[in-house]
Chain A
Amino acid sequence: MTTEPVVFVVDDDPDVCESLSLLLKSVGLKTQTFANAHSFLDGYPPERAGCLVVDVRMPGMSGLELQQTLIQQDICLPVIVITAHGDVPMAIRAMKAGAIDFIEKPYSSQTLLEQVHKALTKDAEARRVQSQRKAVAARLALLTSREYEVLERAVAGQYNKVIAAELGISLPTVEARRKRIMEKLQAKSFADLVRILASHKANKGKP
């Protein structure tokens, strides 16, 4: 998280690469350029924060194909698609695949830079959420299955008495388990516990 984010630029036109790189540098961003998608895939370190600015029309793998490839490889790098000639289907396809923006050349540098910053912010946020989720998951993993049963019912708002009856255990056992759950999950209050579990469930299924 401490490493400086990098704007990766993939365009077959070296002039475009050079000029874009110069522009980004001029606003203090670090850039790395690639002449085509394959060389990017080969040289990109997934842990590296940043964003991707990619041209749609390129020999070999196109920008949209590269976007798909990244999704398949579970690389959640924000993508800004730029194109000299875009059309609506192409834009829809890019946006559906999670692109930050679809920008037509020639663009105003302001727009591009805004989107680049937006992408970098999103990437940073995403990386932060991902690390939190990983921490919650790790704490949840500490719970025993009996404790998890109790947690689910407690979060659902059932009284301890009801929980005890349902699970066929005694009320003091329920209370003891709730205490251990609070400790394991490092929850300061019941509300905190509910938020952690909701957040976890919301992110469930995401990579």
Chain B
Amino acid sequence: MNWNFLSLRHLLRSEVGAIYLGLVALSAGLVLTLWTWRLAVDYELSQQLADLNHDATQIAVAVTERLAQYQTVERSGQALFVVSPSVQREQWRVYVKNLQVKENFPGLVGLAFISYVPHQELTRFLARSQADGAPDFVIHPGGRRDAYCIIQYIEPAAGNDNALGFDSCTLPASRRAMEQARDTGRPILTDWVQLSQQPDNRSAVVLYAPVYHAGAPVQTVEERRAALRGWIGARIRIDILMQGVIPKGSTVDLDIFAGNKASLNTLLYNHDGKLDTLNGHLESVAEHSNRLLFPTTIEFGGQIWMLRFSRQISSPYGETALVVISGTLISLLLFVVLWSLGRTKAKAQALAEKMTAALRDSENAIRTLYEVTTTDHRSTEAKIQSLLTMGCQRFGLDTGILSHVEGQRYEVVAVVSPDGEIGKGNVYELADTYCEFTLKNNAPLCLEKVWGTALQHHPGHARFGLQAYLGTTVMVRGQPYGTLNFYSRHPRSAPFTLLDREILQLMVQWIGGVIEREQMEEEARQHQAMLTHATRLNTMGEMASGLAHELNQPLTCIVNFAEACTNMLRAGRAEREESLAILEKISAQSQRAGKIIHRMRRFIRKGEVQRAVVEITAIIDEIREFIAIEARRYAITIHYQLKPDLPPLLVDRIQIQQVILNLIRNAMEAIRGQDGVREITIQASCYTDTLAEIAIRDTGPGLSTEIASRILDPFFTTKTNGLGLGLTISQSIVETHGGSLWVSSHTGPGATFHFTLPIAEAVYHDN
């Protein structure tokens, strides 16, 4: 889930994600628009339905009112027969005429009186009718029946020509309605009837109201049947009826069905009036699918009519198009806004990620640089080699060179090249390399592809085929030392980045610093060696008088002995034994002189540091003579307190002797002018398991705290013509050996200088 969440977040952050987000918003907007539009359409439709409902209700009321008027007409007919039981044809005509049926009761196409005539009275009825102004009165259809329901009068005659004499009982619909009216005493309406005289008017119905014999009881069905005289029949053309009911210009269509079910069989009235063809009916019903329907029923004359109002649905789309258009526009706008916002955000994100990546890249590069340059145990050369390798990887170039340039001489100091074609120490002409430009530049020189540029005729390209190059000047002590450069024979596709140049600069700074330090160390080493030698010579010079005295002593003795012997031999007084003894003494003195010269030569020798395993007593024994000479000169007593069984040291004996002599001479200088005890004690002991300690103690005035604190500083001296380097050099010699030099007992009588030296066993053990 988490992964999904992350990937979703990632998706949303990307540019594609922004499009998706926009599309989602667009879809949502469109759905919302659609929904709103549907609501608007529904509202529009419901409005239309409500309108239809309103119109329909008005029409239904009008229809009911009109039907009620017809019923009233019938009731007046009934009343007529009650008032005047023997209504004549003429009377009926006048009556109907006075009703002004056509004007007052549109749709009422005929008002008839139908006589109920049992068969046995038929003849009499016929006679009476023929007598009553209708000589050609016949009953049709013919045939014998038990009873006849004969249309006796019908007015207006026009349009009802065939009706007179028609036996209505022969029509099942009329018969049912008449019987029902008879039995109930109320006007009953027929189903639709096919009126013979009006072949097109399927939409005609007849309303029958019973007429009973005046005065006859009509409380029960039997009484009513017995009292039946006939019926008032109102023939109603529904289409005409409707012409007055539906207001002109109304868009409401009305279909009327008998009963409460809409079907072709029960269709009484069609708004088109196209009742005559089946297709028309089908069409009219099929039309309902895109029409608003409002069915309602009315009950009249024992019949239920279903009035089905309909109206063509006026397209709601025009009204709601604004909703769709504005909704779509808003959605699109939202999409565009979101998309562009997302795009901007994605771009910012991408930029941020790019920058983060660049930062990480630079951090990694610098860390690598740091790791390469700070691995302590490796030599500088190895570090530079690693640096070159790292640079080749970093810059994507084959070869890395650290060069030293002097004039036109370009020497390879360190190199990493794939096939080893460039060797360390190789020398080239500066003009053959791009470095000639690098050295003239303050900034790194970056060449991604030389071919095709002004440089392509340069030897670097023309002869060596170098395409890509990155290099800069290595500065040492503010002077150009050479160059650090990387190159490749393949052009580089991507340009060098700012980071590349900065890393190159860092490398160069580090290398410059390292070279500078090495140069300074080398100079310091040379300086130190010179100083050491100079000091040794100085020490030697200081001791020269002593040495000369020492050498002159035996020489003097030799001269004396030789002359004495000569004199004795000349005088002839020489005894053989005596002469031999003198000659032996001469020989001994000669050897003494030779030894002195030998030691002196060893001491003066300026040699490399040669560490060897040597006993501390041997070191001191060799300089005992020197010490003794000096001590004699200043009447100083030297005490040796060398701990026996001291382990041998690993030291350069000459250097250590120099240190000891230096300290002793200092001690002598400190005490030689004083009147009190003049003694120097040389001690050797174990300091730790790994270090031996040598201490030189004098009985001089000691050192003040101020002097003691500075006595080891270079060029600090209390002597009138001292350099102030003796102790410094002694200290550096001791420290080079891995020991240390310090001074103690500053106050009170005497000062003691100590130094430690490594015990050979410990050194070997360590290694």
Contact = CB atoms under 8 A, between A and B. Distances in A.
Contacts, number: 87
B632 A19 contact: no
Contact of B582 (A13, A22, A59, A83): A22
Interface stretch (A68-76, A103-111, A117-125, A130-138): A103-111
A23 to B, nearest CB: 4
A84 B554 CA distance: 10
A105 B632 contact: no
A154 B551 CA distance: 64
A1 B554 CA distance: 36
Contacts of B566: 26
Interface string B449-490: 000000000000000000000000000000000000000000
Contact of B553 (A13, A59, A60): A13
B549 A23 contact: no
Nearest to A61: B635
A16 B559 contact: no
B600 interface: no
Contacts of B563: 23, 26, 109
A26 B556 contact: no
Contacts of B592: 15
Given A26-B571, A57-B549, A84-B550, A20 B560 contact: yes
B564 A106 contact: no
Interface string B526-563: 00000000000000000011101111111111111111
A107 B568 contact: no
A107 B215 CA distance: 208
Interface residues of A, number: 26
Given A22-B582, A26-B568, A16 B560 contact: yes
B731 interface: no
Given A19-B564, A25-B564, A84-B548, A12 B556 contact: no
Nearest to A60: B635
Nearest to A13: B553
A110 B568 CA distance: 15
A201 interface: no
B486 to A, nearest CB: 67
A109 B560 contact: yes
A15 B635 contact: no
B576 to A, nearest CB: 16
B549 A83 contact: yes
Interface in A56-93: 57-60, 82-85
Contact of A12 (B546, B562, B585, B632): B632
A100 B561 CA distance: 23
A27 interface: yes
A106 B567 contact: no
Category for how many chain B residues contact A:
20 to 34
A84 B635 contact: no
Interface in B554-597: 554-568, 571, 582, 585, 589, 592
A184 B157 CA distance: 237
B555 to A, nearest CB: 4
B633 interface: yes
Contacts of B589: 15, 19
Contacts of B548: 84-85
Given A57-B633, A59-B635, A84-B548, A107 B556 contact: yes
Nearest to B628: A59
Contacts of A27: 567
A20 B585 CA distance: 12
A84 B552 contact: yes
A106 B552 CA distance: 6
B559 A15 contact: no
A82 B549 CA distance: 11
Nearest to B554: A15
Contacts of B550: 84
Contacts of B561: 19, 22-23
A27 B563 CA distance: 10
Contacts of A19: 556-561, 564, 585, 589
Contact of A106 (B556, B565, B568, B631): B556
Interface in A1-40: 12-13, 15-16, 18-20, 22-23, 25-27
A150 B585 CA distance: 68
A25 B573 CA distance: 11
Contacts of A13: 553, 557
A26 B585 CA distance: 16
A132 B732 CA distance: 71
A16 B544 CA distance: 20
7 contacts: A15-B592, A18-B557, A22-B582, A26-B565, A84-B551, A85-B545, A106-B556
Ordered nearest first, which 6 A-B pairs have the shortest CB separation?
A: A19-B560, A84-B549, A109-B563, A26-B567, A84-B552, A106-B555
Given A16-B556, A84-B548, A85-B549, 15 more contacts: A12-B632, A15-B585, A15-B589, A16-B557, A19-B561, A19-B564, A22-B560, A23-B564, A26-B563, A57-B632, A85-B552, A106-B556, A107-B556, A107-B559, A109-B562
